[in-house]
Chain A
Amino acid sequence: METMPTNFNPTKDGTTDPLSSIDTLALRALSLFQFKNYESASLEFSSPIVCFLGNNGEGKTNLLDAVHYLSFTKSYFHNSDALNILHEHDQAGITGEFLRAGNPELIHCAIRKNQRKVLKRNHKEYERLAEHIGLLPSIIITPYDIELIWEGSEVRRKFMDATISQYSPVYLDHLMRYNQALSQRNQVLKSYGKMGAPQELLDPWDYQLAFHALPIFEERTRFFVMLEEVFAQVYSEISGGKERGSLSYSTSLAEASMDDILKKNREKDRILERTTGGIHKDDLDFFIENQPIKKFASQGQQKSFLIALKLAQYMIIRGRSKVHPILLLDDLYDKVDDLRVSNLLDWILDKIKGQVFISDTHIDRIPDLLQSKKAAFQIYKIAQNTCLSHSTSIPHH
């Protein structure tokens, strides 16, 4: 199994970070066809920071989601591909021209109603979409992240899985197989219902679940150890060090093997007609000053916590996948005041050497802020589903 490289130290300042060994990644051009609210659009990017500015509902977030699509082969917001097709049409396309470690990567994703989605890398179709995950990593920070606090454990497992999958294809394979075995086992339980499924038919699936649960548990544990450390550091830096944020990872695999968990729950599983225990019940818990964040933190504190969590995710993926991920900052001023945004941008300009996309509803405040920090950036004004390149600012040093 992979271990953390010894020179990985995202918590120290840039000078000790071995950033020179990390590959560059940039999106140079993006074109959309009947994707979400865009009939068609094409954008070119020439700056490390790109701003999408315009009123709500004009399609800024959709541009960020298009980048997410090219990274993860799916939307951050909708599980169903069909929902990402422009209303009253039956197909959509997204094309991105990337430069990864200096090499061009042309990615094209075609979505059709009621048909298999097709993903091509340099004109060659992938046999399995999973093969693409991790090639062009990205991290999105959006107001919808609040789900991580408010929704059920599924959302937090998705966060863990989306992170680990970007640097470990082996993990992703175990995870997909575990989930498949889980669905099959639940189907056996359901089809026998009150009669109770015979153990003989459950055994093969129990064997598969146990086989895949262990490496998933081990990799999540390793990930959590990294996350805990990186998160504490980032949170303290962006919140001014006034309070302590922390996380915990809860999993039934810590006390018992998957085999034992399945054995213990046999009768319960038959009565409830589903698999009640296992790695698919893992969860993350969030705390500020050891108090559960869901109950005891203000909206502003929760937002800072989530930003730190996502930035920690960024640092971990960068350290493990050896490429600078693309950072997508959706609606940067959401629940964050001017001073915090300014501090956050300082932190990002200092620590993040990859491409950054920022969306905001105001035309001036982000450009003014970036100008005052002497950062190079590019602006697209977004209105009524059209994207107008406005200006590119290159600072004088």
Chain B
Amino acid sequence: MSGLPGIGRKTALRLVLELLKRKPEEVKRFSEAFIQMREHIHHCSICHNLSDEETCSICRNASRDRSTICVVSDIRDVMAIESTEQYKGLYHVLGGLISPMDGVGPSDLTVDDLLKRVGSGEVQEIIFALSATMEGETTGFFLYKKLQPLEVKISNIARGVAVGGELEYTDEVTLGRSIQLRTPYESSLKR
């Protein structure tokens, strides 16, 4: 159990001792649930989100806007954006970010599947929602180069001063970048 992320040897021992206290049937149900999860949950064949069917609930949902794809690195990013209830399009989960030093190149990501989806013609806009790190920006640039010939609108999520944040307390790097990447005032009017 200590092989799992975030669980040290002490916590692992506590969990094991706890399981030993429980009734055998209870532990059996518990372990069956794990096996079920591993066997039945896999990746959506379209967007690579988690799913218990061939395609995920978002891709199956007829009311979602199929002309927009939001590209994220991780399934947790899908959950984060879904919880905002501000986005009605589809997703594409890359499964990581390009980082040669961690041994991750474009072929380790679901880039080809994304290009196929865009090439099929239904898609009009791609939104990059990648982290503001060197690897996130680089992955965005790589995808931009690949997507450019496909004549699709490509946008990046806005970055900068936190909502409700005061300028004075925003770090200089973020504030400087916000000035560089300023947006037309009209686009900030609430719609």
Contact = CB atoms under 8 A, between A and B. Distances in A.
A187 B105 CA distance: 11
Interface stretch (A78-86, A199-207, A282-290, A303-311): A199-207
Nearest to A208: B138
B141 A184 contact: no
Interface stretch (A175-183, A255-263, A323-331, A360-368): A175-183
A201 B106 contact: yes
Given A191-B100, A201-B105, A201-B106, A184 B176 contact: no
A75 B134 CA distance: 27
A228 interface: no
A218 interface: no
Given A184-B100, A184-B101, A191-B100, A204 B141 contact: yes
B101 to A, nearest CB: 5
Given A181-B134, A204-B141, A208-B137, A187 B173 contact: no
Given A177-B134, A180-B134, A184-B138, A204 B98 contact: yes
B142 interface: yes
A184 B104 CA distance: 11
Contacts of A205: 138
Contact of B101 (A173, A177, A183, A200): A183
A103 B13 CA distance: 47
A131 B171 contact: yes
B136 to A, nearest CB: 11
A193 to B, nearest CB: 13
Interface residues of B, number: 18
A200 to B, nearest CB: 8
A101 interface: no
A83 to B, nearest CB: 24
B168 interface: no
B176 A204 contact: no
B137 A169 contact: no
A131 B145 CA distance: 33
Nearest to B175: A170
B2 interface: no
B85 interface: no
Interface in A71-99: none
B105 A170 contact: no
Given A187-B101, A188-B100, A201-B105, A207 B134 contact: no
Nearest to B174: A173
Contact of A184 (B99, B106, B172): B99
Interface in A198-249: 200-201, 203-205, 207-208
Contacts of B173: 169-170, 173
Interface in B135-190: 135, 137-139, 141-142, 145, 171-173, 176
Interface in B83-122: 98-101, 105-106
A188 B106 CA distance: 12
Contact of B142 (A170, A173, A177, A203): A203
A208 B138 CA distance: 7
Nearest to B176: A170
A181 B138 contact: yes
Contacts of A180: 134
B41 to A, nearest CB: 33
A169 B174 CA distance: 11
A177 B172 CA distance: 15
Given A177-B134, A188-B100, A203-B142, A169 B105 contact: no
A207 B140 CA distance: 11
A205 B171 CA distance: 25
Nearest to B144: A204
A188 to B, nearest CB: 5
A169 B176 CA distance: 10
A203 B99 CA distance: 13
Given A201-B105, A203-B145, A208 B134 contact: yes
Contacts of A183: 101
Contacts of A204: 98, 138-139, 141-142, 145
Contacts of B137: 208
15 contacts: A131-B171, A170-B172, A173-B173, A181-B138, A183-B101, A184-B138, A187-B100, A187-B101, A200-B145, A203-B141, A203-B142, A203-B145, A204-B98, A204-B139, A208-B138
Interface of B: 98-101, 105-106, 134-135, 137-139, 141-142, 145, 171-173, 176
Given A201-B105, A208-B138, 19 more contacts: A170-B176, A180-B134, A183-B101, A184-B99, A184-B101, A184-B135, A187-B101, A188-B100, A201-B100, A203-B141, A203-B142, A203-B145, A204-B98, A204-B139, A204-B145, A205-B138, A207-B141, A208-B137, A208-B141
Q: Which 3 A-B pairs have the closest CB atoms?
A: A187-B100, A204-B138, A204-B141
